[in-house]
Amino acid sequence: SQELEQSPQSLIVQEGKNLTINCTSSKTLYGLYWYKQKYGEGLIFLMMLQKGGEEKSHEKITAKLDEKKQQSSLHITASQPSHAGIYLCGADRSGGSNYKLTFGKGTLLTVNP
């Protein structure tokens, strides 16, 4: 089974709709990073979560880490075409090292105008 699972694999929404992407780990998450990737480009850092129950927001994107620190969600409110891309989560499950980050396979988001 996947050690770090993202769901859904892909998502098509109408502009203006809300959506949620999940990242689930079989192990405790000491840190969880959300990135966005556009085709042909690098990954752009969105948010980092480290504490159980932590929630961070930037513009219309909110990321949460559950109390048990095994699941994170990324929520986009009133989606826009500019939100389209691939969203990846990266997990620190070793306790404080970037060398052992595990990345999810990504969620492809399409926003139709």
Which of the ranges 21-29, 36-44, 56-64, 73-81 carries the binding residues for other proteins, by CB under 8 A? Answer: 36-44
C-beta separation of 41 from 60 below 8 A: no
C-beta separation of 94 from 100 below 8 A: yes
Which of the ranges 11-19, 57-65, 71-79, 96-104 carries the binding residues for other proteins, by CB under 8 A? Answer: 96-104
> How far apart are CB 40 and other proteins at their closest, in Å?
8
The C-alpha atoms of residue 61 and residue 35 are separated, in whole angstroms, by 12
If one asks whether residue 85 binds other proteins (CB under 8 A), the answer comes out as no
The binding site for other proteins (CB under 8 A) comprises: 4, 30-31, 33, 35, 40-45, 48, 50, 88, 90, 92, 96-99, 101-106
